[in-house]
Each structure stands twice: as C-alpha cells, then as structure tokens.
C-alpha cells in the first residue's frame, strides 16, 4: 500500500543463468571483432612431413662389412667350426684315465668333440648318428660310439674343467681385436620349464634354471671366460673368478658392468688386472674408498665427466648382443636333465659360440687362427 510518494516493490530474485548469458554476449562480440583467417595465408602453410629416422639420428646406412664374405662364412661355418674344434682339442692334450682290465673307455677328446658337436648341430641324440660317422670319416675323432652314448658323455663330471679351459683356448685367436670387455650373466631354461625371460624377475623360481656368467670382448662378442651356476646365484661374487680365468694373451683396457657388480672389492680387482672399471653406480653412492682406492677413482671419473663415463659404460650392452647371438643360433634352453649334464651343455653352447665368432673373423677379417694355451 503506498505511503506518501514512496512505492514499495519486491526485489526480483537473481537468476543464476543470467551471468552465463552475459558472458555469451561478450564472447559473441569478441568473436565478431576478430578478423577471419585469410585463404592465401592458409595456402602457404606446408603439410607436416616427418624426417626419416636415419636423418634424425645421423645414422649412416653403409656398414663396413663385406657381405659376400659374411655370407660365405655363414654357409660354411659349421664345418669350419668342427675343424677348428678338433684342432683346439688336440692342442689341449687331454689324457684319458681309467685304462685297465675290461672294456677300454672312450677317449676324453672324443667325448668333448661329440658333446660340442651335438649342441652345435641342434639335433637330438638319435639324429646325430650321421654326424658321428662323418666326423670319424674326416678323422676328427678316433671312435664311433652309438648315438645315445653322447648323453652319457654329457653327464661326465671330468669334462667340466676341460670345457672351461676350451672356452678360454677358443677365444685366444681373437685377442688382438679386443680391448674393451663387459661382464654379465644370463639364464638358460632347463628341461620342462618356462623360458628364462618369463621368470627372470621372479627370483623364487631361479633355482630351477642354470645361469651362465661370462666376460666377453665387445669387438667380436667372443666369450673369454665363463662359469655356470644355479639360477639363484648372485652376479657379484663371480667377477673375480672370471677375471682369473682370462688368458694372459688378452689385454684388458676397460671392463664395464651393471649395478650388480658395483662393489669396492670388484673395482679394485679389475684395476689390479690392468683395466679401468666402469660400473653403474647408484645416485646415493659414497666416494669413500674404505681400503680400495680404485673405487674412489671410479667415482670421480663419473662425477667429472658423466658423458664420457656413459660412453664406456654403455659398451656393456654388447654383451646382450652376445647372449642373443647364441640363444638364437644355438639354443636358449638345455635338453639335459641332470645337474652335471646341464652344466656341460651350457659350456658347450659357449664353445660353439666362440667357434662361430672365429669363423666369422676368418672370412670377414682375414684372421689366421692360432690357438695359444
């Protein structure tokens, strides 16, 4: 009801949608004031074309390899490898023990030859008979055992130290090519088990597998020292025994390894051998030497020039190439069932790999193989 000249009006409620209406009006006004894109300018915009990967990485497509010689070596590598194997076994001068009354034993050199031949050929014991006859015809061996006798040879514990020596001997012709070395280990799948790559991070299952610890030359990927252990064995304790097995004909300049080998004792052992250690170190690692000065020097090499340290360290990746080579070409699993036979079979794989590396160097690098014991 009016009172004098004043009129009372009820205030209108604020609609929440009003603020959005105001914003939309403002945006439409701004949009109209913007000049549209000119078609001529759009034509000048080039379509995006990514560069080839080779140009981005500055990779030269030409490889310093004579492919015709490489193919010749691949075509004849197994026959050449068996011939080199017989010569290496002859240089070892292995003696056969156990002679006396009764049936004479098979010569140890023949046992070694047939074990490596079976692994290299990737055949079963039944299918190995024709290769046994051929080896006897070529006078690489003295006897002709039945095919299943090779399984008994593989289970002979006397062969294990001889096979380890044979790995070192078959690597000596390539000593002149090698300066940088790498150390690591890989697992080999055993009978009736999954592949190692499936269980390598499941440590509780490693006891059912075999692990081969190796030092390789990064130039030719040849194995210069090897040890076979159970799958649950750690890597670090095997560095010093592997270093001791390396032939005196190899000159070690550098040795790269992953973080599993990063200990003060290992660093000092590498430096005492005349090489410079390049281990992968944790970020929180201490520079204190604690009686091993090689550790302090390695720490300061990393701190002073990380890029240079990384170049030397990442040559370690070539040991993975070596493992891929023999797992693809020879075998990634062990067919033997007993512990001794699995160990010997693993060493035979390493010997076969070395012989293939020798054949490749003969054809591609004009190498004249000379075994030095």
With 0-12 / 13-18 / 19 or more C-beta atoms within 10 angstroms meaning exposed / middle / buried, residue 249 is: middle
Give me the pLDDT at residue 241, please.
Answer: 92
CA 162 – CA 119 distance, rounded (Å): 16
Determine contact, residues 216/325, Cβ cutoff 8 Å. no
In the numeric block, the tokens 């006396």 are attached to: 100
Written as tens digits, the pLDDT of the chain (373 aa) is 455 555 555 555 556 555 555 666 676 676 666 655 554 444 454 555 555 655 544 545 555 677 888 888 888 888 999 999 999 999 988 877 766 677 778 889 999 999 999 998 888 888 888 888 888 898 998 888 888 888 899 998 989 999 999 999 999 999 899 989 999 999 888 865 555 556 566 655 555 678 999 999 999 999 999 999 988 888 899 999 999 988 888 888 999 999 889 889 999 999 999 899 999 888 888 888 888 899 999 988 888 888 888 888 888 889 999 999 999 999 888 888 888 999 999 999 999 999 999 999 999 888 888 888 6
- Closest residue by Cα to residue 228 from 153, 178, 275, 167: 167
For tokens 């030359």, what's the residue?
217
Query: Does 56 fall in a domain?
Result: no
Residue 219: C-alpha distances to residues 53, 93, 122, 177, 178 (Å): 26, 30, 26, 7, 6
Q: What is the pLDDT of residue 42?
A: 47
**What residue numbers bound the domain in which 173 lies?**
67-96+104-364
For residue 132, being part of any structural domain is answered with yes
18 within some domain: no
Instruction: Judge whether 86 and 136 are in contact, CB under 8 Å.
Output: no
Short-list 82, 164, 111, 184, CA closest to 343: 164
Strand, coil or helix: what is 288? coil
In a domain, 4, yes or no: no
How far is Cα 134 from Cα 130, in angstroms, rounded to an integer?
A: 6
The rounded distance, in Å, linking the Cα atoms of 141 and 94 is 13
Number of domains in the chain: 1
Position 224 scores a pLDDT of 94
What 3-state DSSP class applies to 227? Answer: strand
Task: Specify whether the CB–CB gap between 188 and 150 falls below 8 A.
Answer: no
What six digits make up the tokens of 15? Answer: 């609609």
- Pair 261, 243: CB distance under 8 Å: no
Instruction: Compute the chain's Rg from CA coordinates.
Output: 34
Domain membership of residue 262 (yes or no) is yes
Q: Is 34 exposed, middle or buried (0-12, 13-18, 19+ CB in 10 A)?
A: exposed
Residue with token string 């090779």: 150
**Contact criterion met (CB below 8 Å) for 172 and 371:** yes
Within-domain flag for 309:
yes
> Are residues 371 and 91 in contact, defined by beta-carbon separation less than 8 angstroms?
yes
Asked if the structure places residue 263 within a domain, the reply is yes
Instruction: Assess if residue 254 is contained within a domain.
Output: yes
Q: In sequence order, which residues have a C-beta less than 8 Å from that of residue 307 and are 6 or more positions away?
A: none
Placement of tokens 């993975």 in the chain: 320
Smallest CA-to-CA distance from 317 within 243, 212, 222, 221 is with 221
């Amino acid at each position: 009801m009016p009172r004098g000249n004043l009129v009372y009006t009820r205030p209108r409620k604020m609609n929440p949608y009003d603020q959005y209406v105001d914003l939309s009006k403002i945006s439409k006004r701004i949009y109209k004031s913007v000049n549209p894109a000119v078609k001529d300018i759009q034509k000048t915009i080039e379509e995006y074309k990514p560069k080839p990967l080779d140009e981005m990485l500055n990779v030269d497509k030409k490889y310093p390899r004579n492919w015709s010689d490489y193919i010749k070596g691949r075509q004849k590598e197994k026959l050449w490898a068996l011939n080199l194997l017989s010569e290496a076994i002859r240089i070892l001068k292995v003696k056969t023990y156990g002679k006396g009354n009764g049936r004479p034993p098979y010569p140890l050199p023949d046992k070694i030859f047939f074990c490596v031949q079976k692994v290299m050929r990737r055949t079963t014991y039944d299918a190995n008979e024709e290769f046994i006859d051929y080896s006897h015809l070529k006078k690489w061996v003295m006897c002709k055992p039945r095919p299943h006798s090779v399984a008994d040879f593989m289970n002979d514990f006397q062969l294990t130290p001889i096979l380890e020596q044979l790995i070192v001997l078959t690597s000596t012709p390539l000593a002149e090519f090698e300066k940088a070395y790498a150390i690591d280990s890989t697992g080999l799948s055993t009978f009736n088990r999954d592949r190692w790559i499936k269980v390598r991070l499941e440590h509780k299952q490693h006891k059912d597998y075999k692990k081969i610890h190796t030092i390789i030359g990064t130039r030719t990927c040849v194995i210069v020292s090897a040890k076979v252990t159970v799958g649950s064995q750690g890597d670090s304790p095997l560095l010093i025994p592997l270093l001791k097995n390396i032939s005196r004909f190899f000159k070690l300049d550098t040795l790269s390894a992953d973080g599993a080998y990063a200990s003060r004792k290992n660093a000092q052992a590498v430096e005492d051998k005349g090489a410079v250690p390049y281990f992968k170190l944790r970020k929180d690692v201490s520079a204190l030497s604690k009686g091993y000065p090689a550790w302090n020097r390695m720490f300061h090499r990393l701190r002073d020039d990380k890029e240079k340290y990384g170049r030397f360290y990442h040559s370690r990746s070539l040991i993975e190439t070596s493992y891929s080579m023999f797992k693809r070409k020879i075998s990634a699993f062990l067919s033997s069932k007993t512990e001794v036979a699995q160990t010997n079979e693993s060493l035979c794989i390493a010997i076969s790999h070395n012989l293939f590396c020798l054949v490749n160097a003969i054809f591609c690098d004009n190498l004249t193989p000379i075994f030095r014991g």
